[in-house]
Structure 1
Amino acid sequence: MFLKAAVNGGRSKDECPATPLTPGEIAADTAAVLAAGADVVHFHVREADGGQTIRPGALAEVLGAIRAVAPDAVVGTTTGLWTCSGPEERYALVKAWEVLPDFASVAFGEEGAAETAALVVERGMVLESAVWTMDDVPALLASATLHDNVRILIEPVEEDPAEAVAAAQAMAARIRAAGVTCPILYHGDGPTVWPLVRAALADGHQTRIGFEDGTELPGGGPAADNAELVRAVRALAAGA
């Protein structure tokens, strides 16, 4: 089973003290989750005040720290619109990246997604495209980069676990019916994290885990760090 570790997202240390925020912390956490069994790592670059950014210099600093401790790590970052002022600035910032991650994620529920996805591919990065609701799927399927994706991320917004699993499965079915053959990855948020991990295992899809999505272990109680969450997924997969 393919497992991505999403190590920080927008989570603060007030919410979870072990969340990696600085370049050094993100680098150390990358090495730890890979040792624990993650296949790739997704991170969000964080400013000194905790805010998220895709500024070229800040991204280069994080990537440099990662490469110093885990030179063979496969790592990627977000292009989410919450990291900048809007689609035009996002496009300009991604175009200005000098040090490139291995892959970048583009959410097709956002304005300018198709153009950003094309830029990711043009610049030589591996593309992951994300959908949050069924309304996002037509734009994904119409995109020129559809068959350039290394995987499609399905991130249902429903808060009820059963509804989130059903939404993920419905989106996956529609994407497969359109002839998309690349891997599909389910992941949740908060109460839907572990139900979607289990659904991914049952459906034969990829999944992800980490403090971006949730901080609780499958049996309840807080995880000490991202590596403990990764080990918990691997244990579930071994049991399945």
Structure 2
Amino acid sequence: MVQVCLNGSRGAGDGARVPLTPSALAESAADAVAAGATDVHVHPKSPCGQDSLSAGVLTPVLTALRDRVRVPVGVTTGVWAEPDPAARVARIRGWTVLPDHASVNWHEPGAEEVAAALLARGVGVEAGIWSGTDGAARFAASPLGPRVLRVLAEVTDADPGSAVTTARALLAELGPAHGRPVLLHGEDGGAWPVLRLAGRLGLATRVGLEDTLFLPDGERAHSNAHLVSEALKWLPHSGTAKTV
């Protein structure tokens, strides 16, 4: 499995290549899926460019994406989109169009409540476990662990010289991860070394302009599809997601 992460926290300052509007996100997703992506992760943006969990923001993004792609589509529920856990849960309960899945960062306040609200609505949960946090320990103790769709093992170490070591340590922290599939990915300078590690381990992974703006040789990527095409060169076993 190769997930494309279309935009993340990036904005207009990161260049015209980063899709922000519903139509731009849909076009970028369609191109990335044509290049080989099998899943989509998106940060819906308000008109002022801020991540939002509002139904009024999610609905046009999800509708536009589903008009163009036939793969699962997921969204963020990060604390930056709605700092108050109770408000985050209220937003989820108010969604009129549902994503296939949503990521929940397990180190954030209210993660259990947010995940429970998603599961109650039939939305799959990607358990975001970041390196350098207590997310792995919290997830190991969570009664919701066996019910998540998969674990997103996110290596926040952007140093290409140490990101793989950090990734291996994170996987060791996760242990059996409640038997759930693990998607391993890095960001910025660590994106490509961690992606190559995921390929060697036979794990699912992701790539896209959220995680890196550059190809392995340092060239600026033209698009999410460009990144997906490059990633597939390193992922001979990308069709399956193993547990660890």
Q: State if a TM-score over 0.5 links the two structures.
A: yes
Cα offset for 1:109?
1.3
Runs of 4+ in structure 1 off by over 4 angstroms are: none
CA contact under 8 A between 1:118 and 1:144: conserved in structure 2? Answer: no
The match for 1:106 among 104, 107, 115 is 104
5 Å-filtered alignment, 1:138-149, equals: 138-149=137-148
SS at match of 1:41: strand
Instruction: Give the Å deviation of 1:67.
Output: 1.9
State the 1:17 CA deviation. 1.2
Q: Deviations over 1:33-70 (max 9, x none)?
A: 11100010000001111111010111011111112222
State the partner residue of 1:217: 215
Separation of aligned partners in 1, 2:223 and 2:190: 19
Question: What residue number does 1:174 align with?
Answer: 173
User: In the alignment, is residue 230 of structure 1 matched against residue 232 of structure 2?
Assistant: no
Structure-1 separation of matches of 2:89 and 2:100: 18
Q: For this pair of structures, how many residues does the alignment match?
A: 237
**What is the correspondence of 1:201-212 to structure 2 with a 5 Å cutoff?**
201-212=199-210
Over residues 155-192 of structure 1, what are the superposed CA-to-partner deviations in whole Å (9 max), with x where a residue is unaligned? 1222323432222222212323x463221111111100
Matching residue's letter, 2:219: G
Deviations 1:140-162 (A, max 9, x none): 11112101122111112223234
The C-alpha deviation readout for 1:187-207, integer Å capped at 9, x for no partner, is 111100001101111122111
TM-score by length of 1: 0.93
Gapped regions of structure 1 (runs ≥ 5): none
The root-mean-square deviation of aligned C-alpha atoms, in Å, is 1.7
The TM-score, its normalising length taken from structure 2, stands at 0.92
Q: CA deviation at 1:113?
A: 0.3
Query: Percent identity over the alignment?
Result: 36
CA distance in 2, matches of 1:162, 1:11: 24
Over 3 Å counting, the alpha-carbon distance change for 1:233 and 1:94 in structure 2 is same
1:183-240 alpha-carbon deviations (Å, 9 max, x no partner): 1111111100001101111122111000001110112210110000000011122499
Correspondence 1:131-142 to 2 at 5 A: 131-133=129-131, 135-142=134-141
The one-letter code sitting in structure 2 at the alignment partner of 1:28 is: E
Q: Which runs of 5+ in 2 are unaligned?
A: 239-244
Query: Residue in 2 aligned with 1:130?
Result: 128
CA distance in 2, matches of 1:136, 1:11: 24
Look up the equivalent residue of 2:182 and give its one-letter code. I
Equivalent residues in 2 for 1:1-240, closer than 5 Å: 2-70=1-69, 72-133=70-131, 135-176=134-175, 178=176, 180-238=178-236
